Amino acid sequence: MWFPMAEATVTTCYRHPDRATGLSCSTCGRPICVECSRDTPVGQKCPECAGPTGRHKVINARQQFNRPTPVTQVILFINVGIFLLAYLTGRTELTIRFGQINELILSGEWYRMITAAFLHADPFHIFFNMYALYIFGPQIERQMGGLPFAAMYMSAALAGSAAYLVSGAPNVAIGASGAIFGLFGAWIGATYSQRHTPAGRALFRRLAILLGINLALPLFVARIAWEAHVGGLVAGLLIVTAWQRIPGRDSRATALRTASALAVGAAAVLMALLVV
């Protein structure tokens, strides 16, 4: 599994020295440009390691990168639409009605664990989350498929809500941060497995630094539900770990990836209920 196709590094393609690239062959580790990259069921490969095109489906990396990501777009539109609706009708009313209030969740309003992920407090809040979705989401959706990606997003959101529920915090929590940290966790897991390649190792270090900064933010910024961040992050890591053990891209593999992602979300909610 190799999400970060478009990351740039100082290396150049071994076949085209004039082209800077962040891609590398998952077999031999040589840097490759988008024209030389061959996307196979076991990762990106150089033309030599990919072998004859008749052995498996080969997709040019530029074509892969340009493929649309409908689920990511729908999630973006829904979040932005609800945010605008909240500003027109009264953000406080929607927050009270659909935000995560742990006491009300325990009294039976379970829907709040997912509806809270589509509410945001202010323009900066939604901009940060939706920009992160735009950065981290499309590549996962392109490689894993729309259904597994949607299942990961929703399960990470649920895991974040479950972690906040366990904390017993009395404050109202809103935002897609749990789901976003789930995508972040998936990228961390994917790049960790590719750390033996120069591009994978460099990107993993950058993501680790970015993760450290984001996890440290609650120390300096008040009113951040860090529990949801941790819950979503752990869910993303677990989901991508399960995905890496499911080979292929056929309908069966898609179904297994979708089911495994949903299982992580369900397990998070069940564990939270057992704890509280």
The C-alpha angle 71, 76, 79, rounded to 5 degrees, equals 125
The Cα-based distances of 274 to 99, 109, 111, 154, 167 in angstroms read 22, 17, 18, 21, 13
User: Residue 190: enclosing H or E segment and its boundaries?
Assistant: helix 177-193
pLDDT per residue over 78-110, tens digit each?
999 999 988 888 778 888 899 999 999 999 999
pLDDT of 30: 82
220-247: per-residue pLDDT in tens? 666 778 899 999 999 999 999 999 898 8
H-helix or E-strand containing 175? Answer: none
The whole-number pLDDT of residue 6 equals: 39
**Nearest by Cα to 112 from 99, 94, 121, 124:** 99
User: Residue type at 48?
Assistant: E
Domains of the chain: 1-67 (no CATH), 70-275 (1.20.1540.10)
Q: What is the mean pLDDT of residues 111-140?
A: 92
- The model's confidence at residue 266, banded by pLDDT at 50, 70 and 90, is very high
Q: 3-class SS at 136?
A: helix
Q: Tell me how crowded residue 71 is: count the other CB atoms within 10 A of its CB.
A: 21
Residue keyed to tokens 């897991």 = 189
Quick check: helix, strand or coil at residue 88? helix
Whole-number average pLDDT of the chain = 83
Inter-residue long-range contacts of 266-272, CB under 8 Å, 24+ positions, other chains counted? 266/155, 266/158, 268/155, 268/158, 268/159, 268/162, 268/163, 268/231, 268/235, 269/113, 269/158, 269/161, 269/162, 271/162, 272/162, 272/163, 272/165, 272/166
Q: Supply the DSSP symbol for 223.
A: S
Flag whether pLDDT at 54 surpasses 60.
no
Q: What is the pLDDT of residues 146-156, one digit of tens each?
A: 999 999 999 99
